[in-house]
Structure 1
């Protein structure tokens, strides 16, 4: 590994067959935004021979970040797949976005991969969000390695960054995060002064082999190290060997090593590969892109050999939990091309010309074009045949399934799609025109339908209220939103019944901007962002009474209805209660429901500030009717008038929704979080310790004050805190806030 000789075998994705699971490696690149993941992916593509110049395929397009939005933003915003061939192995390299707003794409990459490469910049170091992803991988024992980039930057240090990684990722007192190679500048030519040494980091010293891998010429060349470097290499080598042996399954190795025996190279490599595959040891490597005119960048060959030699095959990783369509557990699927089909849609994209394209990970069986499969998951109509990508269905409960015919299979390479005849267990492929399936849905054999337990996704908590810009946009908006939501499982679409606003719930501002840009550039729909309105309520502060009189005589059939009511407040959460206390038939029995309907209709429209009325009891006390002119409509109007008159002489309280907030935050930021919640009119109700040096803060806060909390909390905690919220009740708004909200409502109504 890194010291073995594995050649490359041409560009990836050209073969139309399905490699055996033992020759597959699925790897996701993880790291904060700007750490160099995409640059590393393109350097690996060059080293494997997949492309001839940095980031380009034969037609000149880039192999990653080729989406127009990514070009404009200079940032990855979606998961991309880059298949490579190396030494007879197929490597599915998944480049996941590093920015926190696109963590949904990262989670999809973690589901599709069997191992993770954590890319850490030598200038930026390890951030809190990367530590959180590392902990997620550790919880499922996913194998991980670390790649340090940006070593060419001034002030960068491989040693310091490695120590930071060991502190952030390794357990205390255990050497599980150690370098496998040491980066050096190139040695000067024999007889030349040291001043002529190349200022760039162009060589790696293999600690196990004691060999130097020189990339100064742009090609990988192996040679003996200079004598002055042997002492540095031997010191690091001894620590690496101790770390490998400490985690070895062979307990006799430590005794042999302590006895002074020189453990042979092959045994050390074998033990290292096993420890990495089990997720017990995490080697650190260095990498850099190839210089202009060269093909191989620093560390790219070693990294490819690490992936193929130490990372597990799909058969060596446990498959996700699987149930029947109705939720009963079933045995885990086997990573066998001959077994029944079990696959999952990990990403969905829409193309104006091709239609919907689904990136699918096959866990069991073989996926073939034109085959009929059963789709289970969310968002589909019961019995919907063929799927309609422009019409989202209701949430699929247990037992809701759909039969689909698989379209053409292909493997992506930049904008190219290379055709496949089949996709076997452990592999990934793009499926065209799988119209009814969405991200997270399961594809299985029709005679053996199952459902894969979905992966965890963060809850979108930043509201974005939108309106169509014009009538033309309004006609296309529904279909465009359905496609955008199908592509992005984190995005949530809501038609608020109280405010009648169309709300997109996003993870953050960058996420919201990308959604709007996709609507505009990909689907040609322009929307206007409007102020998000929190659903407020009104209630009576004290008992009041009112009389509704609706009498009209204009010749012919008239209208006559009179009713008298009393209104009294109820405890929060009671809703509206209607009580009939009419005696003597003052209001005929057939018109009492009419009064109630009028009262409830007026309560829904609101009184003082136009917000729905709640938590009151309305008592019908008396009234009068006419044998000819009384009607259902007349008593509805009288009931509404009575409620309005009662409100005119009473104090009306404005109510706001109050949410329970649950914030999990590192201990260092607990004080800042609690202070910030207090400034938002929040009330901390308790704290408790959480794993990993974190604290769970429970609080209650008005929804008006936490509309942008998803953005503000990320800034406050440097991306290390998470929170959730749930509605608890409506509570009275303080007087000064109530006056401000009512003034805003009055100004929005115009003169």
Structure 2
């Protein structure tokens, strides 16, 4: 990267002397709000690049990944550092599309403050509302940046009003655009005594309300003049506490407002040592001592993103929370998603000792060498072969584990199959590596259906995942229809006779058994009873009958799906002193179960999930109607906060295959849901008749 005079930046330009000279800021907002353009404008304003979108060592700033160019949207987290007023600012760009919410969560974890980017021709969307609420819960300082001021339908004041309505009255403009005709030529600082804007008085009162000087408001109302220096200091303190949220207009095309925004970031957002660090544990799970952003403290860093580079291999972007990371340093790598979030997270716990490779500062696809990464900084580490996104890096002699950040739960299942035998040989390891990069992607290998299922956040998520499989790992897969694992059971009580008699020279095969079968309540499994009298079936062959019954239950008696919840009673039978055998009675037991099924009839069972759907209050009726149309049974609603409701229901899994997509569409991206397996229930006969026999 180069400065305004074209000079190449060196590692010394980006190596912060300490945490107090670092700001980590994440850019969040809906797709199309202009986050990446704003990032480039801020880089240009600081002199990090000569102009927005310029080439850096052959790579444009926004050229993070090929899929991003294809989709014309950001699909992954990217970091770009700049230096302003002697302070290093790590800008973290995140996708605005809901399918890549995992990248947004990683960006929030790496940052100490957030810029919510809202386009001047739009209003606040529901996803931004939800994200603002999440930031508020953890006390993250926030500011709002209004972009696209030069848009034909730009309405700065309307956007500010929308933000205040959604985010609260502590969101107030500190700068306002100054127009010269249709062009925004400058921004007006409302705390400047020379400002004549009508909104100045309201801002001053709001800032004084946040002042730690409790008597300041009384003195102000009494006519005392409050200096600009005092107001700015109180504003910055309130920003750092997360109790006041300035609105700043910034035009990416002209650069107007960018310097003022950077000034505010440096003065108002907290350095890393003033922001709470994540909870720390030992690998055993026991709590460990709290950490702080102290370069001399114990090393504790976290992998916030993992990528694969064709030249240097795996590259881990890390946030150093404590200590100092050096090249070629012994490290302990701990991944404990399952310990914190359960086995369903899809990411097994792992611990390994490695050495750090070369260190660098990421800049889009470009890298600037680094001699060290101090506490509070963000950088890249090469050649960590076992590290996954969300893993903790620490000293092997004093290993620690940071509690991972919560990830959005992938609820869209997509079955995939290798396109060729060559792809099949490579698919397993490639999917494992892909999941290591993206914790919001879960890979399931269903032993019953024999399908490989990718659990993703949406259609764009799987599209990008499959593209990466092909482009990075040379594996081509094809999507297949998802197979829902059904079950079979008996419709009523029935008897069956199994007669397996064959004679083909030498020892023959002879076994006869009579059984009675009756269905049991769901979840009962198999209950096998022996009521044979008089030794009609020799004792050594009674387990053989049970084995045969179990084998036939696994194969199914109607469409090839496993049979469940039966009581099978062995009543009678016949044996031959020479020709009876274990295998003969296994065959007879299977035949007896099939005959009983023909008499009793078979009921197809389908799996149901309990779901909890979180939506805005005004969408509850629509969601409940949709759930009912999916053959779901509503079980209740719970209020969540001031404006959201949890709708609970039990719904067939077959009706939930595309529910993640449909719910997002009907709730404008704001609705979410979770699900857990409930039970198997009888399928309506008209649907059961449509079930094709399983091959």
> Do the two structures share a fold, i.e. TM-score over 0.5?
yes
Is structure 2 residue 170 aligned with structure 1 residue 176? Answer: yes
SS at match of 2:26: strand
1:33-73 Cα shifts (integer Å, max 9, x gaps): 11000000000111111111221234342113431100111
Does the 8 Å CA contact 2:122/2:159 hold for their aligned counterparts? no
Partner of 1:209: 192
SS at match of 2:473: coil
Is structure 2 residue 669 aligned with structure 1 residue 711? Answer: no
Equivalences for residues 627-642 of structure 1 within 5 A: 627-642=577-592
- Give the alignment's TM-score, normalised by structure 2: 0.96
Distance 1:87 1:451 in 2: 35
Of 434, 450, 467, which residue of structure 1 is paired with 2:400? 450
Partner of 1:412: 362
Distance 1:11 1:80 in 2: 21
Is structure 2 residue 695 aligned with structure 1 residue 737? Answer: no
Q: 1:9 to 1:125 in 2, by over 3 A?
A: farther
Q: 1:17 to 1:300 in 2, by over 3 A?
A: closer
Q: CA deviation at 1:523?
A: 1.4
1:269-303 Cα shifts (integer Å, max 9, x gaps): 11111000000100001111244xxxxx0111011
Q: CA deviation at 1:161?
A: 0.7
Partner of 2:18: 20
Q: CA deviation at 1:654?
A: 0.4
Q: CA deviation at 1:8?
A: 12
Q: CA deviation at 1:13?
A: 6.6
SS at match of 1:343: strand
Q: 1:638 to 1:77 in 2, by over 3 A?
A: same
Partner of 2:388: 438
Distance 1:585 1:372 in 2: 71
Partner of 2:329: 371
Structure 1's unaligned 5+ residue stretches are 1-6, 187-196, 212-229, 292-296, 382-392
Partner of 2:557: 607
Partner of 1:515: 465
Q: CA deviation at 1:310?
A: 0.6
Partner of 2:272: 314
Distance 2:360 2:497 in 1: 73
Distance 1:203 1:459 in 2: 43
Distance 1:207 1:733 in 2: 66
Distance 2:374 2:649 in 1: 49
Distance 2:367 2:397 in 1: 31
Distance 1:13 1:130 in 2: 37
Equivalences for residues 343-422 of structure 1 within 5 A: 343-378=301-336, 396=348, 401-422=351-372
Is structure 2 residue 450 aligned with structure 1 residue 476? Answer: no
Does the 8 Å CA contact 1:604/1:612 hold for their aligned counterparts? yes
CA RMSD of aligned residues (A): 2.0
Q: 1:546 to 1:8 in 2, by over 3 A?
A: farther
Q: CA deviation at 1:497?
A: 2.1
Distance 1:58 1:433 in 2: 24
Equivalences for residues 35-74 of structure 1 within 5 A: 35-74=33-72
Worse overlay, 61-70 or 157-166: 61-70
- Give the alignment's TM-score, normalised by structure 1: 0.89
Distance 2:5 2:205 in 1: 32
Of 217, 239, 242, which residue of structure 1 is paired with 2:202? 239
Distance 1:9 1:204 in 2: 28
Is structure 2 residue 647 aligned with structure 1 residue 697? Answer: yes
Partner of 2:628: 678
Distance 1:482 1:330 in 2: 30
Q: CA deviation at 1:14?
A: 3.0
Partner of 2:342: none
Is structure 2 residue 224 aligned with structure 1 residue 261? Answer: yes
1:181-226 Cα shifts (integer Å, max 9, x gaps): 110123xxxxxxxxxx4x2112111111256xxxxxxxxxxxxxxx
Q: 1:718 to 1:17 in 2, by over 3 A?
A: closer
Does the 8 Å CA contact 1:31/1:37 hold for their aligned counterparts? yes
* Aligned residue pairs, count: 686
